[in-house]
Amino acid sequence: MSSVTYNKWLIGLILIGLLAAFTIDYQRHTVEQANSTVELLMEYEDIMELAQIEGAQPGEMFKQFKEAGITSLAVYETTLEKLSKSGKVTALQGADILHQNSTGALTDPFWRNLIATGKIQAEDVYVIGQDQQVFKEVKEDLMRRLGAARVTQLSDGDRLVLSAKANFEKVVKWNLGLSTAELAEVEKLGFHVVARPSNYTKVTPDDVNAVFERLSGVKDLSAIIFSGDEVLGYPDSLPLTVKHFRDRQLTLGMIEHPLQLQFFKQEGLTQLATAINYQAARLYVIPKDEQLKLKASEAIQRWAVTDQERNIRINLIRRFEKPEPGKTLTETNLDYVSGIKNALVAEGFTFGRADTYQPYFPAQWLLGVVVLGATAAGVLLLSLIFPFAARWQYMLTAVVAALLLFPIIKGGGTFSRQMVALACASVFPVLAMTWQIDRWRRLEAEGEFERPASLSKIIPAGLKAIVTTTLISLAGGLYLGAVLSDVRFFLEMEIFRGVKLTFVAPLLLVTIIYLTRYRLFDHVQLTDARGLWRQLCSILNYPVTVKTLLLFGAMAFAAWVFVGRSGHTAGVPVPAFELKLRALLEQLMYARPREKEFLIGHPAFLMAVMAIYRQWPRLFQYLMVLAATIAQGSLVETFAHLRTPVLMSTIRGIDGLLLGAVIGTAAVVGVYVIQAVITRLGRSNAANE
């Protein structure tokens, strides 16, 4: 057996880097713990519509939802269509007015006079106001969106009428600014106000000021969440929007993307969040098509998990459209809201205006130590694959670390940090498995496996090995969580890059490690790197049979599921039974562990220990080691979700280890019993013959 040398100086740098990583992770944990207030938000119009459906008084309906737990109401911009339905204005097409006149249905002298003087045109839109303030706001916003030349007031006093040169079908659906009456009503009802303004085409500073002028009378303005594809003021007047946010210390709501990665795309969103020093909160809303498929209890559980695991601090709650059995529609939705509140209280959350993160950035010198330790880990792994002189290892560590640190020292370095994080996610799981593989080789050389081991030896040895290996991988997770720790990553303005690669790279690297340590084919000598090449050639020259094709087909399908289930893109669907298992684990455990850890990787690790101790075929040992690597890689990759609190990611890994160890131990016992029964039956048959 060729000896493998672990450079102790590199290991020392890794341990020093781990201390720095732990320091950053602790600072991050402190920041995350201070961010625990959730805002329960519903749309003002949603509750108004429910009151109409149920035939209830709006005031009483709002009171019930406030008592159930709703803290804030979202006020959207009004439209001519909504104002017409509420009776506050009437919008008519010029052609309809002329048609009534020609048929004799128009008897009002006021309108007949306007037609006689040529002020009614078939293609124009006419707005009749019943409320002076509402009419004034409609006129102001129509002039902003169409231009002053296209809007004319035809009458005032008792008859409020204006004409607008626009397409009727489109203009009635346009956003026409926030209603000061609705804003005042929400405050009067005792809710925080969340405004939902939109941007203007060719927006001007006057447009931006006009929006904030309408909001100036709102004393309890909790947050602003922009509607549409742009934030107010984008692009040229964005600095003015920033100024208004700063002057009033407003919170920016950032809507999580339906794929749960970053945000619903709005131009100028991240620039605004940066300019207001990250006083922003992540918002989640269950998509309408998904909510239709959920029971209220399932939706409640989703909210509890969402706020815990994804840093969501504004819950935009949509009402259920159908009542549950034995309940009215109102009771269904009130129970839904109170259920969300109770579930969050149980998780330690409080309610009010959404908390925002303090603008945390770790000290550069701590990041530098972490980067140096991560670089040392990468060089150590390289030396374990292809050994080279220690002095070259030190030089390589120094050069790579310097290249990665230079942009960080210059005040940037986001890409460098993302590259270090990617390396940690790929290197540490492989280092953990490599250390264990080399330990098994040493025990084998010492004759430890010459006689088949009993369960009393396999299980303790396996549990000790899996704990040690997992702790090494956990160190990689702490590295990853530290190097990307800052408020931009917590808010997902920046993200970890290379999720798919982190699932594949450790498997490839462990395969290389394994083939440099063991012979899958007896005729290949492992004296140097050429032995690895000979093994690869032997694999390529392996005779192909139907069963071989079936095996590779099964492996390809497993790989498709494994990679396709990673990340946030629409991939392999999750079966119903797995969804139920997830829901159960979420209720039973603080942090639901990943299936690929407790169902695949950790049980495979213990089976690998059994295979090695009982000297089963080398190919089977390799496949179990490969499957075990899945869990180690998954554990480190968990920390790549920077929106998830670092403590939760750590506990998730430990929960996965505990549950996986139990399942793996049961699998080892089951296989051992089956093997013993088969052996005894074989001996009995031989004796009878």
Residue 483 tokens read as 């190097």
Where among 351, 378, 407 does a domain terminate?
A: 351
- Are 338 and 364 in a shared domain? no
Residue 460 identity: P
Same domain, 69 and 125: no
Q: What's the domain range around 661?
A: 8-32+360-684
233 and 262 in a single domain? The answer is yes
Look up the pTM and report it.
Answer: 0.86
Into how many domains does the chain fold?
A: 3
33 and 3 in contact (C-beta within 8 Å)? no
Residues 113 and 260 in one domain: no
Sheet holding 125-129, edge to edge: 89-93, 125-129, 160-164, 151-155
- Which DSSP helix (H) or strand (E) runs through 296? helix 296-309
Please indicate, yes or no, whether residues 57 and 117 belong to a single structural domain of this protein. Answer: no
pLDDT of residue 568: 46
Q: 605 and 645 share a domain?
A: yes
User: What pLDDT does 570 receive?
Assistant: 47
Domain boundary among 138, 153, 171: 171
Residue 1 belongs to some domain of the structure: no
Yes or no: say if 116 and 150 are a contact pair by the CB < 8 Å rule. Answer: no
Cβ atoms of residues 31 and 358 within 8 Å: yes
**339 lies in the same domain as 475:** no
Report if residue 2 sits inside a domain. no
Considering the domain boundaries, does residue 25 fall inside one?
yes
Query: Do 340 and 449 reside in the same domain of the chain?
Result: no
Q: Is 104 in the same domain as 47?
A: no
Residue 434 lies in a domain: yes
Same domain for 196 and 163 = no
222 and 243 both lie in a single domain: yes
Taking the chain (689 residues) in runs of 10, the rounded mean pLDDT of each run is 82 97 96 94 95 93 96 94 88 90 87 88 90 90 90 84 91 91 94 95 93 93 94 95 95 90 90 95 93 91 90 95 93 96 93 93 95 97 93 96 93 92 96 95 85 86 95 96 95 89 91 86 49 62 60 54 50 61 71 86 94 88 93 94 93 93 93 82 58
Q: Do 539 and 417 share a structural domain?
A: yes
Amino acid at 124: D
- Of 399, 392, 469, 409, the closest CA to residue 434 belongs to 469
Q: State the pLDDT at residue 261.
A: 78
Q: How far apart are the first and last CA of the chain?
A: 44
Six token digits for residue 135: 């009419």
Question: Does residue 255 lie within any of the structural domains?
Answer: yes
Q: Residue 150 domain-assigned?
A: yes
Give the span between the Cα atoms of 646 and 547, in whole angstroms.
Answer: 45
Closest CA to 40 of 358, 278, 312, 324: 312
